[in-house]
Amino acid sequence: MGGAVSAGEDNDELIDNLKEAQYIRTELVEQAFRAIDRADYYLEEFKENAYKDLAWKHGNIHLSAPCIYSEVMEALDLQPGLSFLNLGSGTGYLSSMVGLILGPFGVNHGVELHSDVIEYAKQKLDFFIRTSDSFDKFDFCEPSFVIGNCLEISPDCSQYDRVYCGAGVQKEHEEYMKNLLKVGGILVMPLEEKLTKITRTGPSAWETKKILAVSFAPLIQPCHSESGKARFVQLPPVAVRSLQDLARIAIRGTIKKIIHQESVSKNGNGLKNTPRFKRRRVRRRRMETIVFLDKEVFASRISNPSDDNSCEDLEEERREEEEKTLPETKPDPPVNFLRQKVLSLPLPDPLKYYLLYYREK
C-alpha cells in the first residue's frame, strides 16, 4: 500500500508532512488537524497505522486517508458560525475537526447509515469533550448525528452553508445534493471519480471545480418500506441556546482574553506553541499519490512538483548529521490555562465545573 506523504511518528509529524506536501495550506485547517489526534478514532489494535497516510476500514467503521480529509477541509472554506452537513459522517473525526472551526454559534449535523457507527462516533465525541485540552483551546460546535440514508433527507429540511458527502455520488443524484445548499454555499463530494467542489452562486447558478482523482465506494441506494413509501430522515432542529449556556460561552471567552493579555504583557508575543521533538527532516522527492482501500485504488494525484536536486540532498544530509549530535529535548507538558483560571475563581465548585463542561482533567 502507498500513501501521499510519509508516515508520521505522531499526529504532529503527520500534519507536518501534509503541510510539506501542500495538502494542508491554511492555518485554520492546520490548527484543527493538530487539535484532534487521529489515533483516538482508531480501535486500539489498529492504532499503529493511525499516522500513515492511508484509509482504514474495519467492519462498518471507516476513516479516509489524511490527504483526502485535508483536501476536503481546505475546499470547504470553513468559517465560524456556518452550518455544516456531513453525509456519511462515520466516526465523527471530520465533523469534530469542522466543529473546532465553526465555533459555538455554528450548526454541525451528520447523517450516518449504520447504527453501530453512530454509537462509535458518539463514544469518540464524548471522549474528546471529556479528556482533550483542545476542547478548552477552541470554541466548539458539537456535532449531532442522526441515523438514516442521506438520499432520503426530508424535503422540508433546512439548507446548509457547507455540505460534504463521504461516498461516491452517482450523476443522477447530483441535483439532489446541490439542493441541500444555501446560495453562496459549498458542496464537496466525489462525483464521477473526481473529488468535486461545487459553489452555489445563485438560485440556479453553480461553479464546479475538480480537485482530485478519487475512487470512493458508491452511495447505498434507499430501501423503501413495504408500503413503497420513502422513510424520510429528519435532521436535528437548529438548537436555540439557553441564556445560561450563552453566559458560559461569554465567561469562557472573557477568561481566554484575560489569559492572552496576561501572556502578551509577560512575554510580549502571546502564548507560544509547545516545542516539539526534533525530527529527522523529510527529504522532498517526486512521488505519485496512491491510496488503497479494499483492494481498490482510493485516490491518485499528480506528482509533487518539487525538484529532486542532488545538491539539496547533500545539504539535507549534512544538516541531518548535525542534528544527530544535538540532544533531543522533551517539551514541557502542556498547560491548560483556562482550566487553571476557572478553578482559581472565587465561585462555588458546581459553577466552576459547569464552566468547564464537567470535563475530566
* The one-letter amino acid at 237: P
Residue 350: in which H helix or E strand, if any?
Answer: helix 349-355
Q: What angle do CA 300, 192, 286 make, to 5 degrees?
A: 15
Single out the residue of 119, 115, 97, 114 nearest to residue 106, CA to CA.
97
Q: Could you give the C-alpha distances from 254 to 39, 132, 342, 347, in angstroms and in order?
A: 32, 21, 11, 16
Per the CB < 8 A criterion, the answer to whether 66 and 38 are in contact is yes
Separation of alpha carbons 21 and 19, rounded Å: 5
Separation of alpha carbons 193 and 300, rounded Å: 10
Separation of alpha carbons 257 and 66, rounded Å: 33
Residue 125: in which H helix or E strand, if any?
Answer: helix 115-131
CA Rg, the chain, in Å?
Answer: 22
Q: What's the gap between Cα 220 and its chain centre?
A: 24
Pairing outcome for strands 194-202 and 289-293: unpaired
Residue with C-alpha cell 456519511? 88
Separation of alpha carbons 128 and 359, rounded Å: 10
* The one-letter amino acid at 75: A
Q: Tell me if residue 144 is catalytic.
A: no
Separation of alpha carbons 358 and 141, rounded Å: 17
DSSP letter at 200? E
Residue with C-alpha cell 453562496? 184
Pick the catalytic residue from 6, 64, 70, 132.
64
Single out the residue of 36, 127, 108, 33 nearest to residue 72, CA to CA.
33
> Which residues are tagged catalytic?
64
